[in-house]
């Protein structure tokens, strides 16, 4: 997409909470970075995983904004933490076991 087109699209903050979900995250992020919508950020809040989830994300998806918590805070609190740092016009909460289609954000924006 041309830069002027990107700027006219609302920014989407995709928020994912993770706890020892490396295998799920691999598929989720792989599908997410194949979408046909360019103006988005991904924020991942990790509940102190021990399965190398964060190492995988850091190595393979360096654009992901990572917040690693020092303990498992469940689901709601990590989403609230991510919401406070999100820069998007819209927040999109995505479970780490979700595999998205290429046009899922562009269809929602319509």
Q: What is the pLDDT of residues 57-70, one digit of tens each?
A: 999 999 999 999 99
> Which helix (H) or strand (E) covers residue 84, if one does?
helix 76-85
Distance CA 109, CA 105 (A): 6
Q: In the predicted model, what is the mean pLDDT of the chain?
A: 94
Please give the pLDDT value at position 7: 58
Residue 12 tokens read as 């989407």
Task: Look up the pTM and report it.
Answer: 0.92
89: Cβ contacts below 8 Å, ≥ 6 apart: 10, 11, 12
pLDDT above 90: percentage of residues in the chain: 92
Residue 75 tokens read as 């689901």
Q: DSSP state, 67?
A: E
């Amino acid at each position: 997409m041309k830069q002027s087109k990107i700027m006219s699209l609302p920014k989407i903050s995709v928020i994912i909470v993770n706890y020892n979900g490396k295998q799920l995250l691999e598929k989720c992020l792989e599908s997410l970075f194949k979408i046909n919508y360019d103006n988005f950020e991904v924020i991942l809040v990790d509940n102190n995983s021990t399965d190398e989830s964060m190492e995988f994300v850091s190595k393979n998806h360096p654009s992901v904004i990572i917040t690693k918590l020092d303990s498992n805070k469940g689901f709601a609190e990590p989403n609230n933490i991510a919401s406070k740092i999100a820069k998007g016009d819209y927040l999109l909460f995505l479970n780490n076991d979700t595999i998205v289609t290429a046009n899922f954000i562009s269809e929602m924006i319509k």
